[in-house]
Amino acid sequence: MGELEKVSGPGDLRGLSPKRMRALAAEIRTFLVEEVSRTGGHLGPNLGVVELTMAVHRVFSSPKDSIVFDTGHQSYVHKILTGRTDFTGLRSRGGLSGYPSRAESDHDVVENSHASTAISWADGIARANQVLGRTDRHAVAVIGDGALTGGLAWEALNSVAGSDDRRLVVVVNDNGWSYSPTVGGLARYLDAMRTDRNYERVLNWGKNTLRSGGLPGRMTYDALHGLKEGLKDVLRPQGLFEGLGIKYVGPIDGHDLDALESALRNAKGFGGPVILHAITEKGHGYTPAEHDAVDHFHAVKVIHPETGLPVAAAGADWTSVFADEIVGIARARSDVVAITAAMPVPVGLGGMQKEFADRVFDVGIAEEHALTSAAGMAFAGLHPVVCLYATFLNRAFDQLLMDVGLHRAGVTIALDRAGLTGDDGASHNGMWDMAMARIVPGLRLAAPRDEATMREALREAVAVRDAPTVVRYPKGAVGDPIPAIGRDGVVDVLARTAGDGDARVLVVGIGPFAATAVEVGTRLGRQGIGSTVVDPRWALPVPEQILDAAARHDLVVTIEDGVVQGGVGAAIRDALADREVAVDVRTHGIPTRFLGHASRSQLIADLGLRAKDVARDTAAAVAARMDRRAAVDQIP
């Protein structure tokens, strides 16, 4: 048996010799490469935290000690060490989540995958332990240097600072990356620590001397650690963290199990808040990842494990259409700039960054700062395009409302991965944005249905100088073009079908559900129900043309890729009520609940958002309406 087969829980690590621990680390890496290459997932971050996660579990006793992983995509090793080694269905329905999950294990504390939250969580747990007199347990936050660029992390550190009796350990996993290379002053500060040659020589001398048995007298690794602490002010920059009043240990080689374990034990024994700074390499131990210069295999699709190359080449997707169009806009408009929150390549800004490096601003994992900074840029004469995953706009709603919206700032927000994203689970479904955007006065939101309307919407958005604009689009491949048979203002008419009776249905398809709406119209026509299918390219505020069309129909059916309560369909219903137009509106979208990880197609089927589901519901509504009319006609 290999070492991995003998591990069913964290306790199994504590009896292993250093040699067996190193063997286990190698087996875990092999396991990760083999399994994740079959399913896709976050490979690079997990390869980088193998030894770190092993050492944390060896020193602390989960779940009594709470271990909180920031941006939980780095928790695969944690899952393995806590008995979850069936990765065959990773990120698929019925399989393991790609993030920590309380439904899977008592060892998992925080389920969401939004960055910079771990220190706040751990501080809250440590405070509760303190109030309840639980002096036998610790809270451990494992947070990357990229997540430290987020403001919430520093709010938490400010709260932790000066407290000398909370049992809290913050492990900074410093690999110089978030998704992309970590940016900003903090990154430069940590890089200075990481690359200080004198400091590195002292640390290496100590490790090598210890292993050769050549330390004088009774000196131990802990004594060497004390020597290093005494020399730290000479050999590295002044301690930012200790300046805040938090005990600092490091930097430690994050792939040296002995050093990690010793440092963690020192931190655990301190009795108060401690920051342990570990230097790791993203993708460590896997040659294709180590040689990758883009993101160290941050997230992969299905790949060949030997080479790291994708099994199937990806087709054109929404992000690549945005990437191409934003470069064209930047060439035509020198005032257009772009802002990203640590994800220039994933949101499609790689090409613009290469051609216009001085006009793409990576602010780190700081969506709030991105929006308010954009408002400032708009005031000063630029037109910023803020590029985010739709789910991360949630974090900056106050700034969208009070900094951008209130000041009628000409800011465009490009929302990638809008709607159902599926396999990343509840925290990554970009389903809240339209309901949030609807309540921002003056904001205009476009949901393109295909490549042509995507390019058109972006150019129209950056032409707006006196209000915020949002262009939202889904994850994955762009569908076939859906030509309009007519246009009325911002509303495209996509199809008309004649019916046998006098019932007329207005089918409104929002964004990627325009194709579904067209199919709904076709299915209704087969049942003798007349319909008009429209796409409000600019869905918010509700176009007057939609309201005019609704007044000419007997039933309005809306289909959208967002929460249905407070969404675009609800906005249409409310606007019709304000006009005192008596027409039924049936809304189809995502219910207000958190959705487990599954494929997009599975979720669409579950939620009754397939064309056949909507058509069936619509036909039933038409029949009920006709029955009601017939009953009224029979009244004497």
Strands 538-540, 444-446: pairing is antiparallel
Whether residue 122 is found in the same domain as residue 245: yes
**Own/partner pairs for 295-298, CB < 8 Å, 24+ apart?**
295/44, 295/177, 295/179, 295/180, 295/345, 296/44, 296/48, 296/175, 296/177, 297/43, 297/44, 297/47, 298/42, 298/43, 298/44, 298/45, 298/177, 298/179
Query: Is 302 part of any domain?
Result: no
Q: Assign residue 77 a region: left if phi > 0, alpha if psi is -120 to 50, beta otherwise?
A: alpha
Strand 486-488 relative to strand 504-509, pairing: unpaired
Q: Are 451 and 540 contained in the same domain?
A: no
555 found inside a domain: yes
Tens of pLDDT, residue by residue over 360-402, are: 999 988 899 999 999 999 999 999 999 999 999 999 999 999 9
The DSSP code for 543 is P
| Active site residue ranges | 282, 367, 395
* Residue that finishes a domain, picked among 271, 290, 309: 290
Confidence tier at 496 by pLDDT (50, 70, 90):
very high
Domain range holding 114?
A: 4-196+236-290
Tell me: do 554 and 626 sit in the same domain. Answer: yes
Q: Which of 275, 262, 269 is nearest to 223 (CA)?
A: 262
Q: Is residue 228 part of a domain?
A: no
pLDDT of residue 210: 47
Rounded-to-integer distance, Cα 621 and Cα 626, Å? 9
Domain-located, residue 409 = yes
Q: How many domains does the chain have?
A: 3
Note whether residue 618 is domain-resident.
Answer: yes
Tokens representing 475 are 């994850």
Which of 624, 611, 605, 589 minimizes the C-alpha distance to 524? Answer: 611
Q: For residue range 518-565, list pLDDT tens digits in order.
A: 999 999 999 999 999 999 999 999 999 999 999 999 999 999 999 999
Among 412, 447, 472, give the residue marking a domain's end: 472
Q: Does 278 lie in the same domain as 148?
A: yes
In a domain, 79, yes or no: yes
* CATH code of the domain in which 336 resides: 3.40.50.970
Do residue 275 and residue 332 come from a single domain?
no
Residues 464 and 410 in one domain: yes
pTM value is 0.83
Which whole number is the average pLDDT over 87-114?
86
491 and 458 together in one domain: no
Q: Are residues 393 and 521 in the same domain?
A: no
- One domain for residues 468 and 613: no
Q: Which of 445, 472, 499 is the last residue of a domain?
A: 472
Q: What is the pLDDT of residue 384?
A: 98
Residue 17 in any domain: the answer is yes
588 and 497 share one domain: yes
pLDDT per residue over 203-232, tens digit each? 555 555 545 545 444 445 555 555 455 444
Binding residue numbers for thiamine diphosphate: 73, 113-115, 146-147, 175, 286, 367
Give the residue numbers of the binding site.
73, 113-115, 145-147, 175, 286, 367
Over residues 480-499, mean pLDDT = 92
Q: What number of other Cβ atoms are within 10 A of residue 161's Cβ?
A: 13
431/506 same-domain check: no
CATH number at residue 523: 3.40.50.920
Q: Look at residue 377 and tell me if it is in a domain.
A: yes
Q: With beta carbons less than 8 A apart as the criterion, state whether 477 and 487 touch.
A: no
Are residues 624 and 556 located together in one domain of the fold?
yes
Binding residues for Mg(2+): 145, 175
pLDDT tens digits, 101-139: 888 899 999 887 678 888 888 898 999 998 898 989 999
